[in-house]
Amino acid sequence: MKIRNILTAAAVVLAVACNQGGKKTVISGTLPLDYQFIDTLSVYFEDSLLVDALVDTVSGAYKIEIPVDVTKLGILATPYFQTPFVSDGNALTLSLKEDEQPKLVAAPGAEAGLTGRLNNYMKAMTDIQMAVMAEMEQYDPEDFTEEEIMAKAAELMEPYEPKIKDLNVNAIRENSDNIISVYALMSSEMDEDFPALLQGLSPEIKARKDVKLLLDQMSSVGATSPGGRFLDFEASLDCNNLEGTKVHLSDYVGKGKFILLDFWASWCGPCRAEVPYIKAAYEAHIGDNFDVVSVALNDEPDDSALAAVELGIVWNSLVGAGTKPGELYGITAIPHLILFAPDGTILARGFRGAQIEETLAKFLQ
């Protein structure tokens, strides 16, 4: 937005509450001199623009009043940065320190509130990422392929996974009535604790479209848990078997072999990092009673086929399946592996990395 004319010395107050008598969150403060080139602060509730607020071009002062709504993620944005917050009625101000990313914090004399909780959660996650990146610095990218680097990153991340799970579980339980729980849910594995975490959410959070989708996916997971039967779907092609065109999962599963099913995509870094583990399982066990099927989800068929060649996927590789398989099996993140018995019964799901061989050893004899 173009530079505004000099406004009055006082900051502009924009009251944009749905209920004029309702409680509001006030975001106010004064931009430091080196940030006073910013003349507009935009506030969003998730994808919807709530207000463009003008900054006083003389003093750098700003003040915005927005409605309280703890079920949506707020975003304060400029052309140069954006930062999330929760509108819970606690006063906020911008923190613009040289050694930190811009963020909203409690205004002087105000409680940290939900935005403080969100900041703490995000910092804990960022600290883990930075720790892994620091460990990665010992490896020269020029000495490894992209897939080897991704596999090494996944290996280094593995010891941190229990801590990540604890962070997410605590964030969900402590914030069951606000958006932080949704933020943490989207970073969580759909494991044995997931259903209880979902059911513990408040009715207002369960009413969100993204949470409704998770509840539907959880229902699909329940229908495709160990002990259940496989659900069939169609793909446009098996890249490594060009005799026909359209293929079905039932062409492979329930035909007398143990089938290791891998959901993946060409654009998914962790999926690429998983391939060496799957390849090792394939080479160790391929035979009359075992085979592997990879299924690309939400991926362009040409991209899937090219990536399969690049990664050395010589086993059955189904492309053009769209999103339907993910919906049937309640897949919220990839890679995701499922092991089927020779009769099509689901034996295990959700294992990765070194767990692949452990799982196969348990069932293959």
Final residue belonging to a domain, choices 223, 245, 277: 223
Final residue belonging to a domain, choices 194, 223, 252: 223
Whether residues 38 and 152 share a domain: the answer is: no
Closest CA to 355 of 95, 211, 60, 158: 158
Is 201 among the domain residues? Answer: yes
Q: Is the dihedral of CA 193, 196, 202, 205 positive or negative?
A: positive
Is 229 among the domain residues? Answer: no
Whether residues 241 and 356 share a domain: the answer is: yes
Whether residues 204 and 273 share a domain: the answer is: no
Whether residues 178 and 254 share a domain: the answer is: no
| CATH code for the domain of 324 | 3.40.30.10
Question: Strand 290-296 relative to strand 316-319: parallel, antiparallel, unpaired?
Answer: parallel
Q: How confident is the model at residue 244 (pLDDT cuts 50, 70, 90)?
A: low
Could you read off the pLDDT of 259-279 as tens digits, one per residue?
999 999 999 988 998 999 999
Closest CA to 10 of 28, 25, 24: 28
Instruction: Give the residue with greater pLDDT, 92 vs 160.
Output: 92
Whether residues 138 and 194 share a domain: the answer is: yes
Whether residues 252 and 339 share a domain: the answer is: yes
Q: Is the pLDDT of residue 156 over 70?
A: yes
Could you read off the pLDDT of 39-94 as tens digits, one per residue?
999 999 988 988 999 999 889 999 999 999 999 999 999 999 999 999 999 999 99
pLDDT for res 39: 92
Rounded to 10 degrees, the C-alpha dihedral 263/130/121/298 comes to -20
- pTM above the 0.85 mark? no
Whether residues 48 and 97 share a domain: the answer is: yes
Mean residue pLDDT of the chain comes to: 87
Is 337 among the domain residues? Answer: yes
Domains in the chain, number: 3
Query: Which residues span the domain enclosing 80?
Result: 13-111
Whether residues 81 and 164 share a domain: the answer is: no
Q: Is the pLDDT of residue 18 over 50?
A: no
| CATH code for the domain of 71 | 2.60.40
Could you read off the pLDDT of 208-239 as tens digits, one per residue?
999 988 888 777 777 788 999 999 999 988 87
Whether residues 205 and 239 share a domain: the answer is: no
Percent of the chain predicted with pLDDT > 70: 92
Q: Is the dihedral of CA 340, 188, 270, 295 positive or negative?
A: positive
| C-beta separation of 239 from 308 below 8 A | yes
Whether residues 279 and 357 share a domain: the answer is: yes
| C-beta separation of 341 from 347 below 8 A | yes
Q: Could you count the other beta carbons within 10 Å of the beta carbon of residue 149?
A: 18
Whether residues 145 and 178 share a domain: the answer is: yes
Closest CA to 247 of 205, 290, 288, 293: 293
Is 4 among the domain residues? Answer: no
Is 228 among the domain residues? Answer: no
Whether residues 208 and 288 share a domain: the answer is: no
The three state secondary structure string of the chain is CCCCCCCCCCCCEEECCCCCCCCEEEEEEECCHHHCCCCEEEEEECCEEEEEEECCCCCCEEEEEEECEEEEEEEEECCCCEEEEEECCCCEEEECCCCCCCEEEECCCCCCHHHHHHHHHHHHHHHHHHHHHHHHCCCCHHHCCHHHHHHHHHHHHHHHHHHHHHHHHHHHHHCCCCHHHHHHHCCCCCCCCHHHHHHCCCHHHHCCHHHHHHHHHHHHHHHCCCCCECCCCEECEECCECCCCCEEHHHCCCCCCEEEEEEECCCCHHHHHHHHHHHHHHHHHCECCEEEEEEECCCCHHHHHHHHHHHCCCCEEEECCCCHHHHHHCCCCCCEEEEECCCCEEEEECCCCCHHHHHHHHHCC
